């Protein structure tokens, strides 16, 4: 337990905490911030989707950038660089007065946010013994996703500009704590060897590597369908479902992430108890299916009951820690940071086609049926991809991927 609660795990967990704070803050302050720069009506949805996609596009690009640098320069360096960029972007976001400036800063924040989780999970996976690394990644995710709860609290107590500034300050303060963390021993051992490191294109030059990479991404699709569609646009869905009372996105995000905290904790413990990653991911995907069904069956319920369903959705997608751990465990030390950083950001980046597909589907099928069709597609793809991945619980991570 001293190892599990060591400084690398604590720092990675706090870093992810600030990461999640910023990541969900836009969903919480979407309406007041867009109104604050002069938008209204349908623009609140259309420009909201545009800004969310700009943030996710930044994360997609940043995932590749930080992943490659993580395998070539070290896990700690990308943690420093990523935190600095998204902290500065958040501080500036508090002063944005146009949709163009807002979009650029969301893009830059996305680039910065992309490096945090992958670097933290890679570092924790490499410094802990394989029998306990699941506990370490569980703590990182459980503490991290609770950043959404703080984001909702701050957004209620302060205006949207101050909320962004607070996120930037938290990130800069975290940089001071990073100074005391040591680099991964596996990475240090790799530095002295003649081995290719951080070649992103190598993921596409082998059918086996490409299959592992793509399937690692696709098992995470339901997470960002839930967050990017059902939770972000919960006020619109609540209205369509005739929910009694007012539903706001901030509360929906808070309850969803409270469920995520519980889900990450339970999924992490279950993976250690069952000594399996795949069984736990399968269980939580099935729970997500049930929660999505409950969401669209909530016609006429009270706002409180609707928020409870948002919490159940969060619990269902609470296999995020296991999902990123599986990705890290699929590859050797010389590609691990590249994969562990790109995979969660490619999943986040999939919010772009998911929301675009949702926008198209709702015009043809309506708001509810359009979302159901997109959600069903994401869940089916995730289940198929999970069946194609290997079990990695007992896997020794001290090896290299062989490629030219």
How would you class 283 by CB atoms within 10 Å of its CB: exposed for 0-12, middle for 13-18, buried for 19 or more? middle
Q: Is the pLDDT score of 8 beyond 70?
A: yes
What's the pLDDT band for 116 if we cut at 50, 70, 90? confident
Total domains in the fold of the chain: 1
pTM of the entire predicted model = 0.79
What's the pLDDT band for 321 if we cut at 50, 70, 90? confident
State pLDDT tens for residues 42-54.
888 788 878 888 8
N-term to C-term CA, the chain: 40
Average pLDDT over the chain reads 86
Query: φ and ψ at 302, to 5 degrees?
Result: -75, 160
Percent of the chain with pLDDT over 70: 94
In a domain, 159, yes or no: yes
In a domain, 60, yes or no: yes
In a domain, 395, yes or no: no
Looking at residue 73, its pLDDT comes to 82
In a domain, 190, yes or no: no
Name which of 10-19, 177-186, 241-250 the model is least confident about.
Answer: 177-186
What's the pLDDT band for 134 if we cut at 50, 70, 90? confident
Q: What is the CATH number of the domain that holds 45?
A: 1.20.1250.20
State pLDDT tens for residues 170-211.
988 888 876 666 665 666 666 666 666 768 888 888 899 999
**In 10 A of CB 234, how many CB atoms?**
28
Looking at residue 274, its pLDDT comes to 92
Residue 302 lies in domain: 7-175+205-388
Q: Is the pLDDT score of 88 beyond 90?
A: yes
Looking at residue 182, its pLDDT comes to 62
> In sequence order, which residues have a C-beta less than 8 Å from that of residue 5 and are 6 or more positions away?
139
Calculate the alpha carbon distances from 233 to 52, 133, 239, 250, 291 in Å: 12, 36, 10, 11, 16
Q: Average pLDDT, stretch 129-148? A: 82
State pLDDT tens for residues 272-293.
899 999 999 999 999 999 999 9
Closest-CA residue to 51 (of 7, 98, 8) = 98
In a domain, 197, yes or no: no
State pLDDT tens for residues 205-245.
889 999 999 999 999 999 989 988 999 889 889 999 999 99
Closest-CA residue to 386 (of 276, 269, 237) = 276
**Which position has the higher pLDDT, 373 or 79?**
373
In a domain, 375, yes or no: yes
Closest-CA residue to 118 (of 339, 335, 400) = 339
**In 10 A of CB 101, how many CB atoms?**
14
Q: Average pLDDT, stretch 294-323? A: 92
| Tokens linked to 140 | 């990182």
Q: Do residues 97 and 164 touch, judged by C-beta distance below 8 A?
A: no
**Which position has the higher pLDDT, 403 or 139?**
139
In a domain, 401, yes or no: no
Helix axes 207-218, 320-329, angle to 10 degrees: 170
99 in helix, strand or coil? helix
State which of 335-349, 367-381, 390-404 shows the largest mean pLDDT.
367-381
Calculate the alpha carbon distances from 88 to 14, 83, 221, 349 in Å: 18, 9, 29, 22
Calculate the alpha carbon distances from 395 to 133, 281, 330 in Å: 11, 17, 9
Looking at residue 225, its pLDDT comes to 93
What's the pLDDT band for 323 if we cut at 50, 70, 90? confident
Name which of 100-104, 132-136, 213-217, 266-270 the model is least confident about.
Answer: 132-136
**In 10 A of CB 282, how many CB atoms?**
17
Q: Average pLDDT, stretch 324-353? A: 85
Closest-CA residue to 120 (of 11, 263, 26) = 11
CA–CA gap between residue 391 and residue 276 (Å, rounded): 7
In a domain, 180, yes or no: no
The DSSP result for 299-343, as a single string, is: TT-BHHHHHHHHHHHHHHTTTHHHHHHHHHHTS-HHHHHHHHHHH
Percent of the chain with pLDDT over 90: 37
244 in helix, strand or coil? strand
| Tokens linked to 223 | 């997470």
Q: Do residues 394 and 275 touch, judged by C-beta distance below 8 A?
A: yes
Q: Is the pLDDT score of 107 beyond 90?
A: yes
CA–CA gap between residue 383 and residue 219 (Å, rounded): 7
């Amino acid at each position: 337990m001293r190892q599990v609660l060591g400084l690398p795990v604590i720092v990675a967990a706090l870093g992810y905490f600030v990461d999640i704070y910023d990541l969900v803050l836009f969903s919480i302050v979407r309406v007041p911030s867009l109104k604050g720069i002069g938008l209204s009506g349908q623009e609140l949805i259309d420009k909201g989707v545009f800004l969310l996609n700009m943030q996710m596009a930044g994360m997609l690009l940043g995932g590749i950038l930080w992943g490659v640098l993580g395998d070539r320069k070290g896990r700690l360096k990308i943690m420093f660089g990523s935190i600095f960029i998204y902290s500065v972007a958040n501080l500036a976001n508090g002063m944005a007065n146009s949709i163009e400036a807002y979009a650029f800063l969301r893009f830059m924040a996305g680039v910065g946010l992309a490096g945090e989780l992958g670097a933290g999970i890679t570092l924790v996976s490499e410094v802990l013994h394989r029998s306990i690394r699941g506990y370490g990644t569980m703590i990182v995710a459980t503490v991290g996703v609770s950043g959404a709860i703080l984001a909702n609290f701050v957004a209620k107590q302060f205006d949207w500009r101050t909320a962004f500034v607070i996120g930037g300050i938290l990130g800069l303060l975290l940089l001071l704590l990073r100074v005391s963390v040591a680099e991964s021993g596996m990475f240090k051992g790799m530095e002295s060897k003649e081995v290719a490191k951080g070649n992103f294109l190598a993921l596409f030059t082998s059918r086996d590597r490409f299959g592992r990479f793509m399937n690692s991404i696709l098992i995470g699709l339901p997470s960002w369908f839930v967050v990017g569609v059902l939770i972000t646009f919960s006020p619109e869905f609540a209205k369509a479902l005739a929910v009694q009372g007012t539903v706001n996105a901030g509360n929906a995000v808070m309850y969803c992430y409270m469920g995520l905290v519980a889900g990450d904790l339970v999924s992490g413990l279950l993976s250690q108890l069952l000594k399996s990653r795949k069984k736990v991911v399968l269980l939580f995907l099935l729970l997500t299916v049930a929660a999505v069904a409950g969401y669209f069956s909530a016609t006429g319920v009270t706002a409180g009951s609707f928020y409870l369903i948002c919490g159940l959705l969060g619990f269902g997608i609470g296999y995020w820690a296991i999902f990123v751990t599986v990705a890290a465990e699929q590859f050797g030390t010389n590609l691990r940071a590249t994969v562990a950083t790109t995979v969660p950001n490619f999943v986040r980046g999939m919010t772009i086609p998911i929301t675009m597909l949702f926008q198209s589907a709702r015009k043809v099928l309506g708001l509810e049926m359009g979302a159901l069709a997109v959600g069903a597609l994401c869940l089916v793809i995730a289940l198929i991809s999970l069946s194609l991945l290997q079990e990695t619980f007992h896997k020794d991570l001290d090896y290299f991927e062989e490629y030219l």
